[in-house]
């Protein structure tokens, strides 16, 4: 165990050093672009990595042409258009400028690095050319958001600051209210904002650590103004109130772009709005910090560094599967690898990785994306979800032909992966040759270290914990390596609530995991079309904790509460 910890620490330091080298290279590239702009081309320089890119501007030139001549329009105001360019002296760029001027535009060219262009080009995946929008016509000031973020530290502050906003003039009320809501959600670490009209008032709620919390109430006139403003900046039809719409906009805080994915649906008392906050910081978790125990971490590191095979993650919606997959990709990323993802939708942009978005209406499904990706000579493929037999078979075939494939599947636990793949029509004889690891996970909230309080376990809690600990011992799993003893005094902790945790008693989340490797015992069992119970029994010698066992270990170590684990896993399962 000490060796594993030392190895993990060394690898973590190596990864940090590699990231520092990458950051240095990016900085040098930006400095070179700035020098060329001033000394050679006499045009202004801009860094698009910290600049808002408007989808409306990108629509002016198709993606293939933009990539071919290395340009990217990024801002349009009336007929004034800002264009990023890498080689201003190219004849194709001159022709493009002339074409813009013929159409009545007044272009201003900016010198940029290749990294800036790549960021701009990646946004084409989000654009629907079928419908023009007015997105980008309204900017939310980063400085205002940053100022509000300083004033808002808890969820209670959101309501207080919002109350001050209601005293302002009606002209700016909706804009200021939206700024307060966005700044409050980002400052408190919320993942979603829900604006829900009911019979007598409109509720604003934040999803914090997976749980919705009431923030404040709005009157209907304010809601109507706020709703229109959100639609405007998201590129949605303001006059359409009877159909569901989806949009997106971006804001900057502390030089980091945060994307907001917007969903609007009609309701009995008005339109309900949900804004998903796609903060890049929320996925920049090292795998070491996700909650995997030392044994499972060692297994995962071994498997994701192999050149081929299929690794599947299972769990319900909101269980952190995407974050874990992104963690895998970030861990193995290297300029020497070609990594392609097929996602629905692209929620976070990863540097150095080719990301594509499913568009069912245009025929670009997970299956079509996977088949297309295979023609791109990839080393690693991430498929957002396996939903049907053809996608499952193609993923298996890809893993057998020299590709490392990551994906997700909807099953209750790791043992359910094999029966599910068989149900989808995958040939059992080749399945285990491709499937290397099945992982199941759930998310639980971590107890706030500032206010958690020790409690005496109930008779039922005590019995359940002892039964699970005895199972760990009976299955010859190394209980002592998890800082737990079979005969120790059982102590639990409960959530209390304080200002640091917004009164919830919890702050942050982590995963509880289980996994099954496709070893010789599993491989011999698969052709018999086994049940989940049979697979679980065959996997016991692998010595990997189940989610129940992992949850109990985290409870006894004071990381989370009994109630939290019990809310996502059946602790009394036989």
**Residue pair 271/251 in contact by the 8 Å Cβ criterion:** no
Residue ending a domain, choose from 254, 281, 308: 281
| Distance between CA atoms of residues 173 and 158, nearest Å | 15
pLDDT (0 to 100) of residue 26? 77
**Structural domain count of the chain:** 3
271 and 291 belong to one structural domain: no
Residue 1 has pLDDT above 70, yes or no: no
Q: Which of 162-176, 261-275, 304-318 has the lowest mean pLDDT?
A: 162-176
* DSSP SS3 for 441: strand
Is 482 among the domain residues?
A: yes
- pLDDT of amino acid 154: 79
Residue 347 and residue 257 in one domain: no
Q: How far apart are CA 516 and CA 60, in angstroms?
A: 50
Q: What is the mean pLDDT of residues 450-475?
A: 95
Residue 183's φ and ψ, nearest 5 degrees, are: -65, -40
Cα three-residue angle 401-535-512, rounded to 5 degrees: 85
Distance CA 411, CA 420 (A): 7
- Is residue 245 one of the residues assigned to a domain? yes
Question: In percent, how much of the chain has pLDDT > 90?
Answer: 58
Could you tell me if 435 and 396 are in contact, meaning their C-beta atoms sit under 8 angstroms apart? yes
Binned at pLDDT 50, 70 and 90, residue 279 comes out as confident
What is the chain's mean pLDDT, rounded?
87
Q: Output 199 or 153, whichever has higher pLDDT.
A: 199
| Mean pLDDT value across residues 275-295 | 84
137: pLDDT confidence band, cut at 50, 70 and 90?
A: very low
> For residues 102 and 133, is the Cβ–Cβ distance under 8 A?
no
- Would you place residue 130 in the very low, low, confident or very high pLDDT band (cuts 50, 70, 90)? very low
Residue 360 pLDDT > 80, yes or no?
yes
Q: What is the DSSP letter of 437?
A: E
**Shortest CA distance to 71 belongs to which of 99, 50, 40?**
99
Percent of the chain with pLDDT over 70: 90
Confidence of residue 309 (pLDDT cuts 50, 70, 90): very high
Is 284 strand, coil or helix? coil
What is the CATH number for 198?
Answer: 3.30.450.90
Which residues have C-beta within 8 Å of that of residue 129, sequence separation ≥ 6? Answer: 59
One domain for residues 432 and 543: yes
Please indicate, yes or no, whether residues 199 and 330 belong to a single structural domain of this protein. Answer: no
Q: What is the pLDDT of residue 173?
A: 73
Q: Where does residue 412 fall: left (phi above 0), alpha (psi -120 to 50 degrees), or beta otherwise? A: alpha
pLDDT at 138 over 50: no
pLDDT, residue 128, reads 43
- Give residue 257's pLDDT band: very low, low, confident or very high (50, 70, 90): confident
Q: Is the dihedral of CA 106, 252, 183, 153 positive or negative?
A: negative
| 9 has a pLDDT exceeding 60 | no
3-state SS, residue 337: coil
Task: Tell me the pLDDT band of 140, cut-offs 50, 70 and 90.
Answer: low
Whole-number Cα distances in Å, 407 to 45, 329, 332, 432:
40, 12, 15, 16
Residue 135: predicted pLDDT: 44
516/221: higher pLDDT: 516
CA distance 283 to 303: 21
Least confident of 236-245, 267-276, 390-399, 441-450: 236-245
pLDDT at residue 132, rounded to an integer: 36
Euclidean distance between CA atoms 212 and 39, whole angstroms: 54
Statement: residue 6 has pLDDT above 60: no
**Looking at the domain assignment, is residue 573 inside a domain?**
no
What DSSP designation does 32 have? H
Q: How confident is the model over 199-219, as a mean pLDDT? A: 92
pLDDT of residue 574: 56
Enumerate residues 6+ apart whose C-beta is below 8 A from 73. 57, 58, 60, 61, 66, 81, 82, 83, 84
Do 413 and 270 lie in a common domain?
no
Q: What is the pLDDT of residues 544-558, one digit of tens each?
A: 999 999 999 999 999
Residue 29: per-residue pLDDT: 87
Q: State the burial class of residue 414 (Cβ atoms within 10 Å of its Cβ: 0-12, 13-18, 19+).
A: buried
| DSSP 8-state secondary structure symbol assigned to residue 364 | B
Helix (H) or strand (E) holding 533: helix 532-539
- Look at residue 137 and tell me if it is in a domain: no
* 54 and 78 part of one domain: yes
What is the pLDDT at residue 431? 93
Tokens standing for residue 203: 């509720």
> Among all chains, which residue has been given the structure tokens 């209406």?
361
Structural domain boundaries enclosing 325: 284-568
Residue 201 lies in a domain: yes
From the list 274, 279, 276, the residue with the least C-alpha distance to 258 is 279
d(CA 75, CA 77): 7
Cα separation, 295 vs 286, whole angstroms: 16
Report if residue 443 sits inside a domain. yes
pTM (predicted TM-score): 0.73
Measure the CA–CA gap between 41 and 572, rounded to whole angstroms.
71
Q: What is the pLDDT of residues 479-491, one digit of tens each?
A: 999 999 999 999 9
pLDDT tens column, 67-98: 989 999 998 877 889 999 999 999 889 989 98
How much is the pLDDT for 278? 85
117, 84 Cβ separation under 8 angstroms: yes
End residue of a domain, out of 264, 281, 298 = 281
- As a whole number of angstroms, the distance between CA 185 and CA 192 comes to 8
Tokens of 362: 């245009």
Name the burial class of residue 362, with classes exposed (0-12), middle (13-18) and buried (19+) by CB atoms within 10 angstroms of its CB.
exposed
How far apart are alpha carbons 282 and 279 in whole angstroms? 6
Same domain for 374 and 516?
A: yes
Q: For residue 529, what is the domain's CATH number?
A: 3.40.50.300
Best CA proximity match to 522, nearest among 537, 505, 507, 506: 537
Does residue 226 contact residue 182 with C-beta atoms inside 8 Å? Answer: no
pLDDT-derived band at 131 (thresholds 50, 70, 90) equals very low
User: Domain boundary at 265, 281, 297, which?
Assistant: 281
Instruction: Give the per-residue pLDDT at 450.
Output: 94
How far is C-alpha 424 from the chain's CA centre? 27
Cα separation, 368 vs 172, in Å, equals 47
- Claim to verify: residue 7 and residue 74 sit in the same structural domain: yes
The reported pLDDT for the residue numbered 255 is 66
Q: Is residue 132, in this structure, part of any structural domain at all?
A: no
- Main-chain phi, psi angles of 422, to 5 degrees: -65, -40
> Is the per-residue pLDDT at 459 higher than 50?
yes
pLDDT for position 193: 96
Residue 216: enclosing H or E segment and its boundaries?
A: strand 211-218
Which is more confidently placed, 310 or 344? 310
Q: Is the per-residue pLDDT at 429 higher than 60?
A: yes
CATH number, residue 120: 3.30.300.160
CA angle 108, 110, 116 (to 5 degrees): 135
What pLDDT is recorded for position 413? 95
Q: Which pLDDT score is estimated for 20?
A: 62
Provide the sign of the torsion angle of the four alpha carbons 214, 215, 220, 223, taken in this order.
Answer: negative
Q: Are residues 272 and 289 in the same domain?
A: no
Q: Domain check: are 118 and 147 in the same one?
A: no
Residue whose C-alpha is closest to residue 100's, from 130, 64, 117, 76: 76
In this structure, the answer to whether residues 537 and 412 fall within a common structural domain is yes
* Pairing between β-strand 339-343 and β-strand 380-383 as defined by DSSP bridges: parallel
Is residue 445 in a domain?
A: yes
Give the per-residue pLDDT at 375: 92
The one-character DSSP state at 330 is: H
Q: Return all residues near 560 (Cβ < 8 A) that are at least 6 apart.
A: 444, 445, 446, 447, 510, 551, 554
- The H or E element spanning position 435 is strand 435-447
> Do 338 and 206 lie in a common domain?
no
Instruction: Tell me whether residue 191 is exposed, middle or buried, using C-beta atoms within 10 angstroms of its C-beta: 0 to 12, 13 to 18, 19 or more.
Output: middle
């Amino acid at each position: 165990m000490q060796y594993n910890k030392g190895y993990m620490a060394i690898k973590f330091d190596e990864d940090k050093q590699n990231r520092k080298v990458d950051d240095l290279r990016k900085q040098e590239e930006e400095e070179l672009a700035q020098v060329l702009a001033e000394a050679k081309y006499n045009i202004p320089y801009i860094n698009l990595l910290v600049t808002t890119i408007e989808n409306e501007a990108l629509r002016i030139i198709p993606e293939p042409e933009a990539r071919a001549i290395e340009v990217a329009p990024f801002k349009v105001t009336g007929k004034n258009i800002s264009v990023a360019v890498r080689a201003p002296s190219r004849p194709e760029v001159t022709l493009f400028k002339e074409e813009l001027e013929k159409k009545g535009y007044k272009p201003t060219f900016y010198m940029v690095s290749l990294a800036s262009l790549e960021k701009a080009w990646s946004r084409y995946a989000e654009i629907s050319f079928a419908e023009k929008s007015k997105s980008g016509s309204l900017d939310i000031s980063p400085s205002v958001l940053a100022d509000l973020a300083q004033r808002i530290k808890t969820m209670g502050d959101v309501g207080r600051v919002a109350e001050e906003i209601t005293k302002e003039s009606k002209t700016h009320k909706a804009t200021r209210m939206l700024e307060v809501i966005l700044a409050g959600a980002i400052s408190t670490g919320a993942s979603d904002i829900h604006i829900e009209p009911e019979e007598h008032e409109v509720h604003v709620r934040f999803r914090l650590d997976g749980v919705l919390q009431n923030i404040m109430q709005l009157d209907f006139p304010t809601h109507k103004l706020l709703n229109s403003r959100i639609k405007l900046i998201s590129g949605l039809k303001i006059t359409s109130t009877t159909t569901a719409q989806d949009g997106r906009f971006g804001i900057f805080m502390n030089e980091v772009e945060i994307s907001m994915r917007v969903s609007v649906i009609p309701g009995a008392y008005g339109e309900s709005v949900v804004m998903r906050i796609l903060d890049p910081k929320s996925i920049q978790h090292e795998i070491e910090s996700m909650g995997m125990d030392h044994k499972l971490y060692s297994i995962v590191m071994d498997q994701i560094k192999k050149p081929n095979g299929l690794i599947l993650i299972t769990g319900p919606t909101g269980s952190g599967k995407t974050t874990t997959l992104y963690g895998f990709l970030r861990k193995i990323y290297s300029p020497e690898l070609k990594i392609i993802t097929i996602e629905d939708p692209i929620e976070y942009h990863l540097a150095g990785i080719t990301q594509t978005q499913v568009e069912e209406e245009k025929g670009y499904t997970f299956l079509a994306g996977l088949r297309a990706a295979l023609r791109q000579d990839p080393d690693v493929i991430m498929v957002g979800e396996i939903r049907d037999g053809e996608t499952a078979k193609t993923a298996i075939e890809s893993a057998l032909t020299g590709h490392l494939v990551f994906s997700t599947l909807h099953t209750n636990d790791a043992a359910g992966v094999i029966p599910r793949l068989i149900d989808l029509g995958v040939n059992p004889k080749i399945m285990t040759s491709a499937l290397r690891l099945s992982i199941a996970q759930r998310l639980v909230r971590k107890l706030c270290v500032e206010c958690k309080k020790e409690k005496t376990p109930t008779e039922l809690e005590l019995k359940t914990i002892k039964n699970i600990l005895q199972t760990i011992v009976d299955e010859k799993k190394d209980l002592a390596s998890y800082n737990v003893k079979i005969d120790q005094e059982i102590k639990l902790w409960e959530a209390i609530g304080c200002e640091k945790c917004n009164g919830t008693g919890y702050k942050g989340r982590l995963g509880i995991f289980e996994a099954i490797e496709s070893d010789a015992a599993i491989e011999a069992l698969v052709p018999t079309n086994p049940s989940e119970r049979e697979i679980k029994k065959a996997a016991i010698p692998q010595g990997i904790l189940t989610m129940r066992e992992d949850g109990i270990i985290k409870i006894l170590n004071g990381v989370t509460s009994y109630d939290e684990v019990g809310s996502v896993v059946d602790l009394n399962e036989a």
